Structure 1
Amino acid sequence: MNLTAVAAIYRFEMARTFRTLAQSVVSPVLSTSLYFVVFGTAIGSRIDEVEGVSYGAFIVPGLIMLTVLTQSISNASFGIYFPKFIGTVYELLSAPASFLEITAGYVLAAATKALAIGLIILGTAFFFVDLTILHPGWMIAFLVLTCLSFSLLGFIIGIWAKNFEQLQLVPLLVVTPLVFLGGAFYSVSMLPPAWQAISLFNPVVYLVSGFRWSFFGVADVAVGWSIMAIAGFLLACLVAIAWIFRTGWRLRA
């Protein structure tokens, strides 16, 4: 493993974050704070509890997951798309670095940014609701795995995209609706039986459910299924990236 190459890409991507701090950190935190105000205060005042948890606290894992998913994808996709856009990707491909080292540099940087934002939002949540984390170790594990797996997805999207509009296509039209329909603001058990069964085909349900379990000990699906879903998705993304670098799809065209 060429750690020098990984570190160089990682430092470059992290330096870009500090140059656009308002866009990278402040904007998502302010947006999530508005969710707390609207959903936690306005709607929470009309809904006392969900599965024994106050509604304001119940939506915290979903809000964190919504931000982490979108930020992981956006950071990783832009990170690899920009070298394609300006033509420096060919220098990257000719460098003495394997696809694993190139991917690791970009993905670790994107995951670090998303993880930091997720933790900042978690800290912000304590100002709005009374929050207790039953399994902090598992909470961090779910958060890290989610950041890594969706940063890998973002890396794939960045290679696939042909323009800046396509970079936003998947986060806005696919991921965000899946999060809203995946139990981020409600429990899947509140749905009619038919819709509960349909919801199980939504992969985000397993992410939100496992993450919420780490906070409150309640889940819509078994925690083991949540872990398997995240691990399987991460492995599938790695296989897809390996194929992309082996064939040069959308990289050498």
Structure 2
Amino acid sequence: MSINTYAIRAIYRFELSRWFRTLGQSLATPVISTSLYFIVFGSAIGSRMANIDGVSYGAFIVPGLIMLSVLTESISNASFGIYMPKFTGTIYEVLSAPISMVETLLGYVGAAATKSMMLGLIILATARLFVDYHIEHPVWMVLFLMLISVTFCLFGFIIGVWADGFEKLQIVPMLIVTPLTFLGGSFYSISMLPPFWQKVALLNPVVYLVNGFRWSFYGVADVSIGLSLTMTAAFMLLCLVLLAWIFRTGYRLKV
């Protein structure tokens, strides 16, 4: 069975064009917000703190802050991208067209992941204005950024299908993902915690994402790179299984 590349390009281009029409909200806002973190934590507080694993505090938080923005924007972009067709009723045009689940996901999730990766790279460049950092494994850094963006865009797509109101689009990113990111070692190493809380922190899936991404920068992490990749891949697989069930049953797509 051939892939409907025309449909994928149409969805992909439409989603990107919508993003470019709202650059102030889609790009400028998260970049400015993250820059404030760099000013406060990197420059002001970081200059008074000791190095962590041989890395200055300002540089240490760079991967965590990028993850904070990428995770939030991945979920937001993907969930809003599929929710709006449901809200306006144009989802039926997609469902009635000769487009498979794979082609639909490639269009919507591919566009959302592209936005998230662009945002992550722009924040990475912006961080250079505030702190000095280096990247030991640039190829792994890009691969991790791509893997995490795609995984959480899949998760965001699920949220967009599940949501039946605009307020529900913000519940998971604001009340679950953001707190887990803050508690997942974005601003500190979990080795600094007491032994009991270190074990509790390992139950947080974001710990593996942040540490895998940080390893690509400095070659240091609280968990092994293999475990980070395994946990991320497992979450992606879970999202794909849920999406296969959603498209097979039409859950909240055909209502």
Q: Which residue in the other structure is 2:218 paired with?
A: 216
TM-score, normalisation: structure 2: 0.98
Q: Which residue in the other structure is 2:36 paired with?
A: 34
Q: Which residue in the other structure is 2:133 paired with?
A: 131
Q: Find the residue that maps to 2:48 and give its secondary structure.
A: coil
Deviations 1:187-206 (A, max 9, x none): 00000000000111100000
Q: 2:90 aligned with 1:91, yes or no? A: no
Residue 14 of structure 1 aligns with an amino acid whose one-letter code is: L
Q: Which residue in the other structure is 2:188 paired with?
A: 186
Unaligned runs of 5+ in 2: none
Identity %: 66
Residue correspondence of structure 1 range 133-152 to structure 2 within 5 A: 133-152=135-154
2:71 to 69, 72, 78: 69
Residue 215 of structure 1 aligns with an amino acid whose one-letter code is: F
After TM superposition, the structure 1 stretch with the greater mean CA deviation from structure 2, 182-191 or 227-236, is 227-236
- Alignment partners' CA distance in 2, 1:45 and 1:133: 21
- Alignment partners' CA distance in 1, 2:130 and 2:54: 18
Asked if structure 1 preserves the Cα contact closer than 8 Å seen for 2:160 and 2:169, the reply is yes
- Alignment partners' CA distance in 2, 1:252 and 1:133: 46
- Alignment partners' CA distance in 2, 1:6 and 1:152: 16
Residue 101 of structure 2 aligns with an amino acid whose one-letter code is: F
Deviations 1:112-154 (A, max 9, x none): 0000000000001111111110000000010000000000000
Residue 172 of structure 2 aligns with an amino acid whose one-letter code is: V
Shift of 1:41: 1.9
Residue 181 of structure 2 aligns with an amino acid whose one-letter code is: V
Q: Which residue in the other structure is 2:84 paired with?
A: 82
Shift of 1:49: 0.7
State the superposition RMSD in angstroms: 0.6
Residue correspondence of structure 1 range 1-253 to structure 2 within 5 A: 1-253=3-255
- Alignment partners' CA distance in 2, 1:23 and 1:108: 20
Shift of 1:209: 0.4
Unaligned runs of 5+ in 1: none
- Alignment partners' CA distance in 1, 2:69 and 2:113: 12
Asked if structure 1 preserves the Cα contact closer than 8 Å seen for 2:211 and 2:223, the reply is yes
- Alignment partners' CA distance in 2, 1:130 and 1:98: 46
Aligned residue-pair number: 253
- Alignment partners' CA distance in 2, 1:211 and 1:252: 38
Residue 13 of structure 1 aligns with an amino acid whose one-letter code is: E
Shift of 1:42: 2.3
Asked if structure 1 preserves the Cα contact closer than 8 Å seen for 2:141 and 2:217, the reply is yes
Shift of 1:252: 1.1
TM-score, normalisation: structure 1: 0.99
- Alignment partners' CA distance in 2, 1:19 and 1:42: 35
Deviations 1:198-220 (A, max 9, x none): 11110000000000000001001
Asked if structure 1 preserves the Cα contact closer than 8 Å seen for 2:43 and 2:131, the reply is no
- Alignment partners' CA distance in 2, 1:105 and 1:241: 14
Deviations 1:90-114 (A, max 9, x none): 1110000001111110000000000
